[in-house]
Chains A and B, each alone.
Chain A
Amino acid sequence: MNPKSEEDRIELQDLTIAIGSMTLKNPVMTASGTFGYGEEYAPFVDLNRLGAVVVKGLSLEPRSGNPPPRIMETPSGMLNAVGLQNIGVRDFIARKLPFLRRYDTAVIANIFGETVDEYRQVAEILNGTEGIHAIEVNISCPNVKRGGISFGACPDAAAEITRHIRSETDLPLIVKLTPNVTDIAQIALAVEAAGADAVSLINTVTGMSVDIERRRPHLANVTGGLSGPAIRPIALRMVWQVVRAVKVPVIGIGGIMTASDALEFLITGARAVEIGTANFIQPAATMEILDGIKDYMIRHKIGKITELIGSLDTGTQGNC
């Protein structure tokens, strides 16, 4: 093969995708809580090449998080009970955002709160902040007012949060869904109707593990969130369910370690993917995944990534 023509084709590849009013240069983003505030990975990753950086979850005030031990490795995955430790939204803007502004990459602020009003206030502070390109709302947090049940487990509560944030901001609004529900498509429909520009899924799957010698839980918090390859088939199934239910873009998350994992999600209909636990194991995982997607497109003569998205052929199966 003539090497020049191959190079030309690489240049011709179009990986751009749109999420609401935001255009990303490619569909490979980082997952909240697994990439710090970006600077931790700058020695290993060219942040300019990422579709977007999603930062660690931000709350109105700083939070100290759960006592240790906070993590435990499990088969093909890990449990974490970090407890949403973070420096608070104001400190993030003052101390962490200036570093990210130096890069030509979209910055997505992941936010959470304990009350609807807290969510709203965090969004209000972020709105109009230079260098913030979108908001991702983590609705997996316990709703203190409703007896600690996750906001994300209840369509009404999820929609209420979405509406309040929507009224505060014109930034693209992504609602991040929890898998710990009976019918994830129902939650997705509720937040779409309330004004979400996109949904991302999945957050971690609640799990547990026990030290049998001591007869104690491995995590001080007893339960934790499972992430990594172990949850990938669940995540993919849920993306499939949600893609068919809503019209807004879906961002796939869960156990994506390689380009082929990412491609499974894109083909199933995810418009973009977030890479989480993989960053811990291979700090440059996002770069390898991006390169692998490009190679695949060359191999399959695909010029635009949008041609690939949702191209899953189920035949007559799987529609029931």
Chain B
Amino acid sequence: MNEIQSMMTGVIRENRKVASDQFMMTVILPPSFPIPAPGQFVMVREANRGEPLLARPLSVYGFQKQDDHAVLELLYRLAGRGTILFSKMKPGDEVALIGPLGKGFTIPEGLTRVLFIAGGVGVAPLIFLLQDRFLTAETEKGKKPIFYLGARNVNLLVGLERLNGLCDLKLCTDDGSQGYHGPVTELLKSEIEGYDPKETVIFACGPTPMILSLGRLLKDNPIPCQVSIEERMACGLGACLGCVVAIRGPGRKREYVRVCLEGPVFDLKEVLPTSSVDMQGSENES
């Protein structure tokens, strides 16, 4: 169960387009909003609208706490009706928020090499993780984090301004308009031998095809990888059992666990992302 979570109304300070299909929303919240851990998410709904009915899960992209308020940043892709309606909201409009929810990333002890693998809007929780946990002591001890960031084309690469200087950035685009020409996982594959499994950890978030190919790439590789998984949600609180993903539980037994409560961050080697929402890749149980 989540220890601290709350339900609050936030006021939009800014809601702006950052790429042709992505927006960033900044929300002002009461200072009592619990501090989120990287990888956690919030359930977001337009406060005064009846439809769509359900809130949408969005990862925490940034968070700052001040004396008299807190600032929450969300980065979202226009995926369908709910997110398109979010993009039409104006400064001053209210959002209803539940959170922070879920189990975020765990930082193992004694790390020297940290790799981030992000596809598209999957960059959101990873940038928060990088900024929140890898600016200080950890990085001084070890090597600079390496951030593999992929998108369909150069115009869809977002968050670069937050990454500059914090890490070695490796950009990939599907059309070759910037950086490596091809998927992030392909670039990683060509470089994976250079990383020592004993001192490396990977944090990943992205679309299902990316997660599946990462699963294939790391199938026989001992580098640990934590991945944030997406599934449709209704409650976000562990009550509806709507958001499950299959994992290999104890004894390698296949079982369903809730992305909102046991996740959204899982060990890549345990999780079997069958569908996530688009029902592809069930043939690919890594």
**Chain A residues in contact with chain B, CB under 8 A?**
33-36, 39-41, 43-44, 56, 64-65, 67-73, 75-78, 80, 82, 85, 214, 216, 220, 228-229, 277, 279-284
Contact = CB atoms under 8 A, between A and B. Distances in A.
Nearest to B3: A43
A64 B256 contact: yes
A277 B6 CA distance: 19
Interface string B1-15: 110011100000000
A72 B245 CA distance: 15
Closest 7 pairs (CB-CB, A-B): A36-B239, A71-B242, A280-B235, A40-B239, A280-B234, A82-B241, A40-B237
B70 interface: no
Contact of B239 (A35, A71, A72, A77): A35
Contacts of A229: 50, 53
A31 to B, nearest CB: 11
Most buried by A among B55, B98, B231, B235: B235
Given A220-B275, A281-B55, A68 B7 contact: no
Interface of B: 1-2, 5-7, 45, 50-55, 96, 98, 231-235, 237-246, 255-256, 274-279
A278 to B, nearest CB: 9
A68 B53 contact: no
B239 A69 contact: no
B53 to A, nearest CB: 6
A71 B98 contact: no
A213 to B, nearest CB: 10
Given A34-B235, A36-B238, A214-B279, 7 more contacts: A33-B241, A35-B239, A68-B275, A75-B51, A78-B53, A229-B50, A279-B239
Given A76-B51, A220-B279, A229-B53, A69 B231 contact: yes
Contact of B241 (A85, A220, A277, A279): A85
A67 B6 CA distance: 30
7 contacts: A40-B235, A65-B256, A68-B246, A70-B242, A82-B241, A279-B235, A280-B54
Most buried by B among A41, A70, A277: A70
Given A65-B241, A68-B275, A69-B275, A78 B54 contact: yes
B240 A214 contact: no
B232 A69 contact: yes
Contacts of B5: 43
Nearest to B239: A36
B241 A40 contact: no
A281 B236 CA distance: 10
B42 to A, nearest CB: 13
Contacts of B234: 71, 78, 80, 277, 280
Nearest to A229: B53
Contacts of A277: 53, 234
B279 A73 contact: no
A283 B237 contact: yes
Nearest to A278: B53
